[in-house]
Amino acid sequence: MSRPVRVLAGLMVCGVTASLLAPAATATPPDRFQRVGTLSVFANSSAGEHTAAEIAAATADGRTVVYTDSPAGRIGFAALGRDGALSPAGVLDLPGEPTSVDVLGRLALVAVDTSESSTAPSGVLVVVDLDAEAVVATHDLGGQPDSIDISPDGRHAAVAVENQRDEDVADGALPQAPAGFLAVVDLAGGPRAWTVRRVGLTGLAEVAPEDPEPEYVSVNGRGQAAVTLQENNHIAIVDLRSAEVVNHFSAGTVTVEGVDVADDGRIDPTATITAAREPDAVAWLDDRTLGTADEGDYQGGSRTWTVFDAASGRVVFSSGNELQQVAIRQGQYPDGRSDNKGVEPEGLAVASFGRHRYAFVGLERANLVAVYDVDDPRRPRFVQALPTGVGPEGLLPIPATGTLVVSAEEDSAEDGVRSSLTSYRLTRTPLTVALARNEGSPSIVSDGIGFGALSGLSGIPGNRGDVVAITDSAYVPTRVLTIDTRSAPARVRAELTVTKGGRPVDYDGEGIAARRDGGYWVAAEGDGKARPNLLVEVSRTGEVVREVPLPAEVAATATSNGFEGVTTTGRGDGEQVWLAVQREWKNDRRGEATLARFTPATGEWSFAAYPLDAASTGWVGLSEVTALDDRTLLVLERDNQRGAAAVTKKVYRVDLSALATAAAGQPKPLAAKTEARDLLPALTAGGGVAHDKPEGLAVVGDGPLRRLVGVVDNDGVDDAPGESVFLRLGWIR
- Confirm if 126 and 135 have CB atoms less than 8 A apart: yes
Please give the Cα distance from 342 to 368 (Å, whole number): 13
Q: What is the mean pLDDT of each run of 10 residues along the chain (733 residues)?
A: 36 43 49 96 94 97 98 97 96 98 98 96 98 98 98 98 93 93 98 98 98 98 98 98 98 98 97 98 98 92 97 98 98 96 98 96 98 98 97 97 97 92 96 96 96 96 96 96 98 98 97 95 96 98 98 97 98 96 96 98 98 96 97 98 95 97 97 98 95 97 89 92 96 85
Please give the Cα distance from 386 to 363 (Å, whole number): 10
Q: List the beta bridge partners of residue 638.
A: 621, 649
Question: To which H or E segment does residue 249 belong?
Answer: strand 244-250
Q: What is the pLDDT of residue 20?
A: 35
Which among 681, 713, 714, 668 is positioned nearest to 695, based on CA atoms? Answer: 713
Rounded (10°) CA dihedral 364, 365, 368, 372:
-60
The pair phi, psi for residue 296, each rounded to 5°, is: 85, 165
409, HSE (Cβ side, Cα atoms, 13 Å): 22
**In Å, how far from its chain's centre is CA 651?**
25
Q: Three-class SS of residue 349?
A: strand
Rounded (10°) CA dihedral 609, 615, 618, 621:
-30
Q: Sort strands 181-186 and 156-161 into parallel, antiparallel or unpaired.
A: antiparallel
Q: What is the pLDDT of residue 146?
A: 98
Please give the Cα distance from 253 to 275 (Å, whole number): 5
Q: What is the pLDDT of residue 29?
A: 67
The pair phi, psi for residue 529, each rounded to 5°, is: -130, -100
- Confirm if 491 and 447 have CB atoms less than 8 A apart: yes
May I ask the CATH class of domain 452-732? mainly beta
With a CB cutoff of 8 Å and minimum separation 6, the contacts of 607 are 554, 594, 595, 596, 597, 661, 662, 663, 664, 668
Please give the Cα distance from 44 to 122 (Å, whole number): 28
Q: pTM of the predicted model, to two decimals?
A: 0.96
Please give the Cα distance from 451 to 724 (Å, whole number): 9
CA atoms 495, 499, 504, 507: torsion sign: negative
With a CB cutoff of 8 Å and minimum separation 6, the contacts of 168 are none
- Confirm if 523 and 565 have CB atoms less than 8 A apart: yes
From residue 637, how far is each of 510, 676, 706 by CA, in Å?
Answer: 14, 11, 22
For the chain, give every domain's residue range: 452-732
Q: Where are the beta strands (DSSP E) in 162-200?
A: 181-186, 195-200
